[in-house]
Amino acid sequence: MRIADLICSEGKTGFYFDDQKAIVSGAGHDGFIYTGDPATDGFRSIRVPGESISVMLILENGEVAYGDCAAVQYSGAGGRDPLFIAQDFIPIIEGQVRERLLHRDASSFRELADEIDSIEIDGKRLHTAVRYGVTQALLDAASRSRRITMAEVVKEEYSTGVELRRIPIFAQSGDDRYTNADKMIIKGADVMPHALINNIDEKLGRHGEILKAYIEWLRDRVLLHREEEEYSPIFHIDVYGTIGMLFNQDMDKMADYLKTLEEAASPFKLRIEGPMDRGGRKEQMEALRDLTALLDQRGINVELVADEWCNTYEDVIYFADNRAGHMIQVKTPDLGGVNNSIKAILYCKEKGIGAYLGGTCNETNRSAEICVNIAMACGARQTLAKPGMGFDEGYMIVNNEMNRVLALAGRRR
């Protein structure tokens, strides 16, 4: 099946672009709006609307395959590409990218995705968001050409050897970490609640007491309201480097504090994402590597998750090779083409490191659906419920797509 045309449409995402540097530095609130001046290039205010681009491939039989370009909530932070503005990139996609894809055979994904992901225009690679959306569309095109699910395309082309099954879904609460946690308990979320701990004074506490109390509340809430005793969600908290900031990057003090959080979460398993942010790739890898080793040495049963400064496929290799974290978030928009997310999950599994197919609340329903297919095909340890921060919508999108894939693939078997 050949590609007859490519067109784009501008869209909105499920959340916003937020200036992480300004927020971690103590930006104020006025309702849902952050107050103060932005601190990252490209931001006109600390919170701006998220933008996307739908890339539509018109196939020669008239079918339309599509994917969505999107970038993470905290664009421009942690070594990422700058803020993604749709109107800046539609001309590039409908111009040079379209020229590369016209009349190409869309029935095979891997080779064409690698080509598009690596092209340069004026000596620069395409923005990660552009590569992300175009390769999604290529995966959908291969699926439609071959009349199988996108998960089956990935499974076949990358020889993953994985049996398609449900993958644990990681739900995110946003700032409404109490009400949304209740929703997660009612719906039986596998991993929860993210909690968005991105400010020391408001969410962590100057002695770590606010987060500890929240984890204790979460533990008691699950024990009180779970419908079945077997329901045992994993607590996964993203702290955006604030623990490192609080304890001045002192490894022993951080480990001591993580021990108290482990006790607060018991009997539930605890994961902490981004315990520190050292401001650079090498520094972050070394700090996370050393803290991971220290927790293992002291028998502290808290899993650390790599996020900041682990953005590209090469970064994932670097962190995995050095065991910087017990689990690595493959943050899908940051890796550019979804072909890189596939390779990253498979590499982590090969190295015995947990592979979490993540992403951002600032994506779309389409990118979320396509990521579900990839997580299932590669056997990721968990996949993110996205987009949005309201829980129900993202969980519905990811859960329902997962069940559709299983039903369709099962029918063929």
Residue 78 has pLDDT above 80, yes or no: no
Closest CA to 274 of 301, 236, 300: 236
Whether residue 61 contacts residue 3, with contact meaning beta carbons closer than 8 Å, is answered with no
Q: What percent of the chain has pLDDT over 70?
A: 100
pLDDT tens digit sequence for 283-334: 999 999 999 999 999 999 999 999 989 989 999 999 999 999 999 999 999 9
Q: Which residues are annotated as a binding site for Mg(2+)?
A: 238, 273, 307
CA distance linking residue 298 with residue 324, whole number of Å: 16
Mean pLDDT, rounded, for 144-152: 98
pLDDT tens digit sequence for 260-288: 999 999 999 999 999 999 989 999 999 99
Q: What is the pTM of this model?
A: 0.94
Question: Catalytic one among 183, 203, 212, 331?
Answer: 331
Q: What does the DSSP 8-state code read for residue 55? A: E
Residue 357 has pLDDT above 70, yes or no: yes
Q: What is the pLDDT of residue 75?
A: 84
CA distance linking residue 86 with residue 340, whole number of Å: 22
What are the beta bridge partners of residue 272?
Answer: 237, 304
Mean pLDDT, rounded, for 347-369: 97
Q: What percent of the chain has pLDDT over 90?
A: 91
Question: Does the active-site annotation cover 331?
Answer: yes
Whole-Å CA distances, 350 to 90, 331, 344, 379, 382: 37, 18, 10, 12, 16
CA distance linking residue 388 with residue 13, whole number of Å: 8
- Both tokens of 214, joined, read 């929240």
Domains of the chain: 2-158 (3.30.390.10), 169-411 (3.20.20.120)
Lowest mean pLDDT among 25-39, 189-203, 208-222: 25-39
Mean pLDDT, rounded, for 184-213: 96
Average pLDDT, the chain: 96
Instruction: Report strand pairing: 28-30 vs 33-35.
Output: antiparallel
Q: What is the pLDDT of residue 26?
A: 85
Residue 130 has pLDDT above 70, yes or no: yes
Q: Which residues are annotated as a binding site for (2S,3S)-3-methyl-L-aspartate?
A: 172, 329
Full strand arrangement of the beta sheet holding 3-18: 3-18, 47-59, 64-69
Whole-Å CA distances, 8 to 95, 129, 413: 11, 14, 36
Q: What is the pLDDT of residue 404?
A: 98
CA distance linking residue 196 with residue 45, whole number of Å: 20
Task: Provide the 3-class DSSP secondary structure of residue 36.
Answer: coil
- Both tokens of 22, joined, read 């300004």
CA distance linking residue 257 with residue 200, whole number of Å: 14
Q: Which residues are annotated as a binding site?
A: 172, 238, 273, 307, 329
CA distance linking residue 8 with residue 90, whole number of Å: 7
CA distance linking residue 373 with residue 398, whole number of Å: 10
